[in-house]
Structure 1
Amino acid sequence: MTDDAYLFLLDDPAVPLGVPPSVAGELSCMDTPAVRAWLDAQGVTTTSPALRILPPEQTAAIPEQAERLPVPLSEAELSRLRHHNAPEAVARLEEELLAYRDCTDGRDTLLRRALAAGIPLARIVELTGEEPAAVAASSG
């Protein structure tokens, strides 16, 4: 696993892998000379349907033959990317976890639901600001 997200090109844009960079919001890496040069070399623009991005923990899913470029993302950019790349049900739970910061009603129930849905402990901690031990204790 790498610490960088990856921009990559899919041969078939209909394949549900990654998200178009524009979906993840403004990404500072898209304006760097390295990314612009890579896009030019590939003959694509930032709006190309074949251009996708994946967070570091999912880059192993990129097909071997796909053209790819590692790109660093800020924590905020990475959080947005993970949110938009998640399946819809998980994305809704993540939104609830983010809203959780403002309200503690149903805390343990929400944390148990998130864990049961397969959201990793570290991601729940990131979204809620809770201590890892508190999240783990809620599952019991």
Structure 2
Amino acid sequence: MTDDAYLVLLSGPAATLGVPPAAVGELACMETPAVRAWLDAQGVTAASPRLRLLPPEETAAIPEDAERLPVPLGEEELSRVRHHAAPRDVARLEEELLAYRSCADGRDALLARALAAGVPAHRVAELTGEDLAAVKAVAR
């Protein structure tokens, strides 16, 4: 696994990986000379349906022959990418986890539901601000 997110040009069944960059709103990296030059070299625009953005934990799924470019994302940008890349039911739970920060009522039940739905423990900790050990303890 890498620490960088990747812009990738995909086609065929792999085109469902990641998210279109435009779906997550403004990203500082999209305006950098390196990204602009890479897009020009590939003959695509930032709005191309083949262009996808993958968070670091999904980069192992990039096909070997796919054109790719590592891009730096800020913490908030990466959170938006992960949110848009999550399946709808998981995305809904992630929204609840974000709302959790302001209300601890039903804490254990919400954490258990998120873990049971497949939200990784590190992501639950990131979204809630809870200690990772406390999140893992709920799973036991």
TM-score (normalizing by structure 1): 0.95
SS at 2:102 equivalent: coil
- Where does structure 2 lack aligned partners over 5 or more consecutive residues? none
Tell me which residue corresponds to 1:42. 42
**Cα distance 1:13–1:23, how it changes in 2: closer, same or farther (>3 A)?**
farther
**How many residues are matched?**
140
Partner of 1:108: 108
More helix by share: 2
CA contact (8 A) 1:13 1:50 kept: no
2:75 aligns with 75
Q: How many Å apart are 1:139 and its aligned residue?
A: 2.6
Kept in 2: contact 1:29–1:35 (CA 8 A): yes
Match of 1:3 in 2: 3
State the alpha-carbon separation in 2 of the partners of residues 136 and 5 from structure 1. 26
What is the alpha-carbon distance in structure 2 between the residues aligned to residue 37 and residue 55 of structure 1?
21
Which secondary structure state, in structure 2, belongs to the residue aligned with residue 15 of structure 1? helix
Matched, 1:29 2:29: yes
Identical columns (%): 74
Deviation at 1:14, TM superposition (A): 8.0
Give per-residue Cα distances to partners, 1:79-123, cap 9 Å, x unaligned.
000000001111001000000011111110000011111211111
SS at match of 2:41: helix
Measured in 2, the distance between the counterparts of 1:5 and 1:121 equals: 20
Partner AA of 1:80 in structure 2: R
